[in-house]
Structure 1
Amino acid sequence: MHKSADRLFYDLSLIRYCDDGHPDRQIGTRRRSTGRKDHDSDWRQGSDRLKGMGSIKSAVNSSTTLGWQVADWVAIEGNFTAPLTDSQGMQYAAALKFSVIDTTTDTLGIATTANFGDSRYNNLFYGVSAKQSQRSRFNAFHASSGLNSYEADISWLHYFDNHWSGYADFKYTQFAESIRKSPVVTSNNNTELTLGLLYTFK
């Protein structure tokens, strides 16, 4: 992340997307996925319910973030993600991030994010084409461009000593009303809790 003296900052990076299109890291939150298949899988996200929908290929994307550090405890960020290989459409995000605690031993942050996609992206992950409808149990569905979800994220990082640290991340996702109408979406919302232990070599 590059920051200027006037609190304007930007970030340009490459992100390798997993099969379900979610990046390993994204504005406001961290997302982890081993991919999505149209059948049950022991090591990838998938379900037999999606049979006939097919898999979504991995892709390399560029991610650009531009933000404004309003104060030491709050920042506003905008992000857009563009595909460099397999064209999966454009993604956009707007986030408001708060630093609640920032000490030598603990960091606690809260972020709220609105996620958007162009028509290609939203249809790829939430739509059902005519061919997919023929092969699967779902009726055809067209997902228009625009807002697809909101997110609220709370993350905590604690340093036990110079080498060991632990983290916890809780994320709540609420799908947009237009996306909830998709036949492949089985729930209006989703929650995710991630716990981890880190060791740093020094």
Structure 2
Amino acid sequence: MKTCNLKLIPALFVLLSGGAFAADEAVTTIGAGVALAPRYSGSDENMVVPMLAVDYTMANGLYASTLRGLGYGGAAGPFSYSAALGYRAPRKEDGKLPFGGKASKYLRGMGDVKGSATANLNLGYAIFDGLNVSVHTAQALSARETGSTYGAGLSGTLVRNEADTVTLSLGFEMADKKYAQAYYGVSAQQALKSGYKVYKPKAGMYQAEVTMSWQRKLDDHWGVTGVLGATSLLRDAANSPLTRRTTSPMAAVYASYTF
């Protein structure tokens, strides 16, 4: 999600739904709240944006979700897996969000980064109950010039009881050369229009993130979740002329109803 850097939102489904890929019957989850995140990756402007989500998961593992896309997920012993068709939102030259707001001057002359359909693949492994590692990738299927990303994460449950679940997650993201250039690079043509110097970042690790969440279960259907975290740009992404702040806060609070 690059119009506003709300990369945390797709991952929130794990908290919002309880994290199960398959159940004895179909499960529908509806969630709403607000989130705080940078306007775009590397921006020093924080934005508060609404969060709305609907997620439907069938007993056989198929799902349709405004967060996860259209896909399938399942588990085999300690392994979990999912594959989905998703969408990476565009980054607009004016930095505006789809629902309005003021423009940003720092992307002026850079042009829009197109939105892209993506193939989202994830594989997880439970080291033991409450500690999981995962790897994932988002492969661009359209607007291939925007590139693809790869990542790995570690998630641990610190508290779990009938009412509360507290989780700490660490993650790293890697970009191919096309993605790095699309979001952190400056071409010769963009340099002429924007005033930035030409910048050609290399493929590799570009971001680290840490997130803590607290989910409070109110009853069999209702729950409230709060999320606090930070993302830090690394290496060539951190040195990009577009990057005005390397470490940015992110936060969210939302209510969910599952039936």
Q: Normalising by the residue count of structure 1, what TM-score does the alignment of the two structures yield?
A: 0.85
Structure 1 counterpart of 2:86: 15
Cα distance, 1:44 vs structure 2: 5.8
After TM superposition, list the pairs within 5 Å mapping 1:1-202 onto structure 2.
Answer: 1-5=73-77, 7-19=78-90, 36-39=91-94, 41=96, 43=99, 47-87=104-144, 88-200=146-258, 202=259
Partner Cα distance (2:81, 2:172) in 1: 19
Q: State how far apart, in whole Å, the 1-side matches of 2:250 and 2:204 are.
A: 24
* TM, length-normalised to structure 2: 0.67
- For the 8 Å contact 1:37–1:47, the answer to whether it is kept is no
Counterparts in 2 of 1:152 and 1:53: CA distance versus 1, 3 Å = same
For the residue of structure 1 that corresponds to 2:189, the secondary structure is helix
Pick closer, same or farther for the CA change 1:40–1:58 going to 2, 3 Å.
closer
* Partner amino acid, structure 1, of 2:124: G
- The count of corresponding residues between Structure 1 and Structure 2 is 184
SS across alignment from 1:65: strand
Return 70-79 or 98-107, whichever deviates more: 98-107
What are structure 1's unaligned runs of at least 5 residues? 20-35
Q: Give per-residue Cα distances to partners, 1:14-58, cap 9 Å, x unaligned.
A: 221111xxxxxxxxxxxxxxxx32225363685122111011111
Tell me whether 146-155 or 159-168 shows the greater mean CA deviation. Answer: 159-168
Q: Structure 2 regions of 5+ residues with no counterpart?
A: 1-72
Aligned equivalents of 2:134, 2:147: Cα separation in 1: 21
Letter in 2 for 1:48: K
Q: Percent identity?
A: 22
Q: Alpha-carbon deviation of 1:13? A: 1.2
Would the alpha carbon gap of residues 146 and 98 (structure 1) be closer, same or farther in structure 2, given more than 3 Å must change? same
Residues of 1 paired with 2:155 and 2:190: CA distance?
39
Higher RCO (C-alpha under 8 Å, 6+ residues apart): 2
Deviation per CA, 1:77-120: give whole Å up to 9, x if none.
Answer: 11111111221212100111111223332221111001000000
Residue identity matched to 1:107: T
Q: Secondary structure of 2:96's match?
A: coil
Letter of the structure 2 residue corresponding to residue 71 of structure 1: F
The CA deviation string for residues 116-167 of structure 1, in whole angstroms up to 9 with x for no partner, is 0000001100000111001102111011000001000111211112332111
Partner of 1:50, secondary structure, is coil
CA distance in 2 between partners of 1:67 and 1:199 (Å): 26
Cα pair distance change 1:160/1:149, threshold 3 Å:
same
